[in-house]
Structure 1
């Protein structure tokens, strides 16, 4: 469990000063807690001993051990397949597929247990609101998951916009964003600097709701977001899995379509009618 998850888990038991510390750490995670204890105390308006008690309450022997854990998480967030290969757990080659499927199922179970239904419902409410335009973007690999989401949303509702890979095209979409709109961003380790910069621009200039779908090490985009979904991605091989991201997106698609099913049905019927249109004249043969 990451420090972030630990703080979330223990938040109901915090004192008023503990909530201040926890909120400050989460607001700029993990960098907010990589400063000295005196700097963090100044920033939060609580005493250094209160911070020591806080880190002890969440399971650390002291502030240095707390920071070592944060630094370890940062290192993990930058690990490449080459590095992950060195810690890969070998599995029975003759039954690899069934073993891999079992591990994927465990990750899905973990996602279901860790993502609160209330958090899913908040995101659903935003994405299903027909008065909000939806903008979607993903990274080099997660872009495929972003495309899965935007492709289905376009069939379900209007005003869904998928940002292309070319950053030179991004200003067009940024100018179209309105205050009440929704920006869904996908970013998994190793995180993309251009997406982090994009999130900062959107947060500072467009003021719309940003939803981040990431892994447990948390993309730096998190500091600019209103809603964060941290999904399991480790599967004990050199390659992280996007199975949980795919399942989360599919679940969201199902519930968005059901939020106003009469409207969805009408749009799907019209979509299918147009999709089935065929040319009246046969295409000329070459």
Structure 2
């Protein structure tokens, strides 16, 4: 076996659940008091859970013993154990490649083969974490001709956003890929109408500017904000009507966007095939114009 430097075992990384996941999984079994507490924790996640238990009790009107019972129901030994997990999640959301590359791991077979297995595992996990109902809702929003669609990603994740916007432009009108410079955003914000769509991509080491944009789009322009992010959740999800959380940790020095790209391709295909008779005509016209431009260029 060949040795390379990686962070953790793949299975351990893709199966790790956040406290948000645990709360959502137990939602049906919660009492009225516990649902009130969980709402507070999720609405200001993870920071509400980092407050002292007495402060959280006063804020929610839920007694300290009830909070202790709640975290025990989630599987923690006590409130301090619960907070330690939240702190670990918060640290994980800001990890850089330098921090990820901390220990040695044996590669199973060839490097490319091992890496492909990791990417495949992330895509499979994504397919189970995004429900059919949510996928349908997002696809419907993106295909609605009465809604303009604005798309933007982060420093690196904008590559994922471009995959979506470039294909959507071939399928429908009124798709705008926003520039990374916030100074240009007012022009796009002024174009947004109520119920238009802002689709943002923001993975860990999040950009505050993207969260600020989501806030303005949701609060001032009344747009539907869709956020593609990871399990630690971009701050922009506070303003999202739909949150698509996909796995990114492959156990290597880099986070993987394989699941994000796959989800974008699935959405593009869903939009295209929702009305291919109409969309196919636009694709054909688009290709004809490109071919005509190329022929004219060759003739000169």
Q: Higher RCO, 1 or 2 (CA under 8 Å, sep at least 6)?
A: 2
**1:69 equivalent in structure 2:** 85
Whether contact under 8 Å (2:142, 2:149) holds in the other structure is yes
Whether contact under 8 Å (1:89, 1:236) holds in the other structure is no
Among 44, 49, 65, the alignment partner of 1:49 is 65
**2:4 equivalent in structure 1:** none
Distance 1:170 1:37, change over 3 A: same
Whether contact under 8 Å (1:88, 1:238) holds in the other structure is no
Does residue 1:236 correspond to 2:251, yes or no?
yes
Whether contact under 8 Å (2:198, 2:214) holds in the other structure is no
**2:122 equivalent in structure 1:** 107
The alignment yields a C-alpha RMSD, in angstroms, of 1.7
Distance 1:223 1:32, change over 3 A: farther
Moved more, 37-46 or 259-268: 37-46
Q: 1: distance between equivalents of 2:253 and 2:215?
A: 31
**2:9 equivalent in structure 1:** none
Q: 2: distance between equivalents of 1:210 and 1:24?
A: 21
Q: 2: distance between equivalents of 1:87 and 1:252?
A: 37
Q: 2: distance between equivalents of 1:226 and 1:208?
A: 9
Distance 1:43 1:273, change over 3 A: same
- How many residues are paired up? 283
**Which 5+ residue runs of structure 2 have no aligned equivalent?**
1-16
Does residue 1:36 correspond to 2:15, yes or no?
no
How do residues 259-278 of structure 1 correspond to structure 2 at under 5 angstroms? 259-278=274-293
Distance 1:265 1:283, change over 3 A: closer
How do residues 114-129 of structure 1 correspond to structure 2 at under 5 angstroms? 114-129=129-144
Among 72, 86, 101, the alignment partner of 2:102 is 86
Distance 1:48 1:157, change over 3 A: same
Distance 1:101 1:205, change over 3 A: same
Runs of 4 or more consecutive aligned structure 1 residues displaced over 4 Å after TM superposition: 279-284
Q: 2: distance between equivalents of 1:52 and 1:67?
A: 12
Q: 1: distance between equivalents of 2:216 and 2:231?
A: 24
Displacement of 1:88 after TM fit? 5.5
Superimposed CA distance per residue, residues 200-232 of structure 1 (whole angstroms, 9 cap, x where no aligned partner) = 232332221111111111111122222111111
**2:161 equivalent in structure 1:** 146
Distance 1:70 1:156, change over 3 A: same
- Secondary structure at the aligned position of 2:105 is classed as coil
- Secondary structure at the aligned position of 2:42 is classed as helix
